[in-house]
């Protein structure tokens, strides 16, 4: 039988009624002749609650115990989905990560998938099971400990299963009916895209778009997984949603395809660091060891023989970054006059594969922000994206202005 992977996000399984609705969608695909692997997230809000409890217990928590706690939300959803399908006379069974087993490395709270053996689930399909309901976001380390794949990791679980089982496609069900030119909650002019290139989706996901986790898009691009993003609250049809595909499958490349933003950013500056070979490694090595996700980096000459080093990171990692850098200073690895954190900034980005062949995008973006009186603190670019760090209070204005400037509401 052909295999179909269906992933349901937290809002799609937030209540028993929504789980029943999702189960009916699964039943439709089973009736078409598919063996279905359903990947489920925790019920909406549950993971945040569990993470909050961990944070209240310990500021610098043991990541192994963090994984043990926060992975439990998906287990509940998987069991409830399997029970609901059984009540519909659909042969279904729930699977936790260790039961598959979905094997990962030992990087707790941000584990990487290393292997998904297909024998156990394939054997149950052969015995008559029609739906395997797998708890997303989780796996098992070589030491036999529960691991988690990072926030949004159920998307990665879904794509990885689609690749491992050679699924016909991977459908990602969420609370929006596809990928939009920007967040519809910020701009009423946001438009749903019928198709978007893997590279564009990868940039949008990494820059703050919440539709798909970055690693899930990386996997889909690497293994050629046919990926579709659609709403669990809209009518089912083969044309619904947005197809994430190869660049050559898109008819025309616009200069900019979407505007992304990340509200929870911080800017950290090391003031008066020695300007010498190896200083960057001395700074960013300890940050990497502490698991700090550094994004934008700017180095300025402040005085002879000294420099200021600025970087951005998620605002919830500021305390860890501060601890890591001051520990390096205490060891004598680096020396700086002061460490200043600005936790009231946001990142806004323009993304489009058309930037490769069309000039003037940066100039238009900077002029648009200038016309709105928005000061740019940091700039970072790649072949298909331009990102700026600005005061958080101007974030929504910047998104709306850029969406208008690049006329993204037009098909």
Place of tokens 């700026």: 388
Query: Between β-strands 378-382 and 242-245, what pairing exists: parallel, antiparallel or unpaired?
Result: unpaired
142 vs 320: CA distance, rounded Å: 27
Q: Phi-psi category of 178—alpha, beta or left, where left has phi over 0 and alpha has psi -120 to 50?
A: left
**61 labelled ligand-binding:** no
**210 labelled ligand-binding:** yes
148 vs 111: CA distance, rounded Å: 6
Task: Give the residues across from 391 on adjacent strands.
Answer: 345
147 vs 251: CA distance, rounded Å: 41
**323 labelled ligand-binding:** no
Helix, strand, coil abundance in the chain, percent, nearest 5: 40, 25, 35
Strands (E), 1-75: 3-8, 35-40
**18 labelled ligand-binding:** no
**180 labelled ligand-binding:** yes
Which among 135, 136, 175, 133 has a CA at the least distance from the CA of 153? 136
Place of tokens 């519909």: 88
Place of tokens 């980005």: 349
Three-state DSSP state, 265 = strand
239 vs 219: CA distance, rounded Å: 23
**Residue 275 has which token pair?**
């300007």
Alpha-carbon torsion 14, 16, 22, 23, what sign? positive
**7 labelled ligand-binding:** yes
Measured N-to-C along each axis, helices 72-87 and 16-31 cross at an angle, to the nearest 10 degrees, of 60
**74 labelled ligand-binding:** yes
134 vs 94: CA distance, rounded Å: 6
Q: Please give the angle made by the CA atoms of 387, 392 and 394, to the nearest 5 degrees.
A: 85
247 vs 336: CA distance, rounded Å: 45
**131 labelled ligand-binding:** no
Task: Give the residues across from 259 on adjacent strands.
Answer: 350
How many residues are given for the chain?
Answer: 411
229 vs 154: CA distance, rounded Å: 14
61 close to 87: Cβ distance less than 8 angstroms: no
Residues annotated in the binding site for ATP, as ranges?
7-10, 174-175, 180, 185, 210-211
Annotated binding site for substrate: 47, 74
Binding-site annotation, residues: 7-10, 47, 74, 174-175, 180, 185, 210-211
């Amino acid at each position: 039988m052909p295999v179909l992977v269906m992933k349901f996000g937290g809002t799609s399984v937030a209540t028993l009624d929504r789980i029943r609705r999702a189960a009916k969608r699964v039943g439709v695909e089973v009736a078409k002749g598919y063996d279905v692997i359903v990947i489920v997230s925790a019920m909406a809000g549950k993971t945040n609650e569990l993470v909050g409890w961990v944070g209240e217990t310990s500021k610098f928590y043991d990541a192994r115990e963090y994984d043990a706690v926060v992975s439990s939300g998906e287990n509940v959803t998987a069991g409830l989905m399997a029970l609901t399908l059984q009540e519909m006379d659909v042969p279904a069974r729930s699977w936790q990560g260790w039961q598959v087993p979905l094997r990962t490395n030992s990087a707790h709270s941000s584990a990487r998938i290393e292997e998904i053996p297909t024998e156990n689930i394939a054997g149950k399909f052969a015995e008559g099971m029609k739906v395997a309901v797998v708890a997303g976001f989780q796996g098992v380390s070589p030491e036999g400990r529960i691991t988690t794949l990072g926030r949004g990791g159920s998307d990665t679980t879904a794509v990885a299963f689609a690749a491992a089982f050679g699924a016909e496609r991977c459908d990602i069900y969420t609370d929006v009916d596809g990928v939009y030119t920007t967040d519809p909650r910020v701009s009423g002019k946001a438009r749903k895209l019928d198709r978007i290139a893997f590279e564009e989706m990868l940039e949008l996901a990494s820059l703050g778009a919440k539709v798909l986790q970055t690693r899930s898009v990386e996997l889909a691009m690497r293994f050629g997984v046919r990926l579709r993003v659609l709403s669990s609250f809209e009518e089912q049809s083969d044309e619904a949603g947005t197809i994430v595909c190869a660049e050559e499958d898109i008819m025309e490349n616009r200069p900019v395809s979407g505007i992304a933003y990340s509200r929870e950013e911080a800017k950290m500056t090391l003031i008066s660091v020695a300007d010498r070979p190896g200083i960057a490694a001395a700074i960013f090595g300890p940050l990497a060891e502490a698991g700090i996700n550094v994004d934008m980096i700017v180095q300025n000459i402040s005085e002879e023989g000294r420099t200021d080093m600025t970087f951005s990171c998620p605002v919830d990692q500021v305390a860890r970054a501060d601890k890591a850098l001051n520990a390096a200073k205490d060891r004598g690895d680096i020396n700086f006059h002061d460490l200043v954190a600005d936790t009231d900034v946001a990142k806004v980005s323009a993304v489009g594969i058309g930037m490769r062949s069309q000039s003037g995008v940066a100039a238009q973006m900077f002029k648009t922000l200038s016309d709105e009186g928005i000061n740019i603190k940091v700039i970072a670019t790649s072949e298909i994206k331009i990102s700026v760090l600005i005061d958080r209070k101007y974030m929504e204005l910047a998104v709306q202005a850029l969406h208008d400037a690049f006329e993204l509401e037009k098909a």
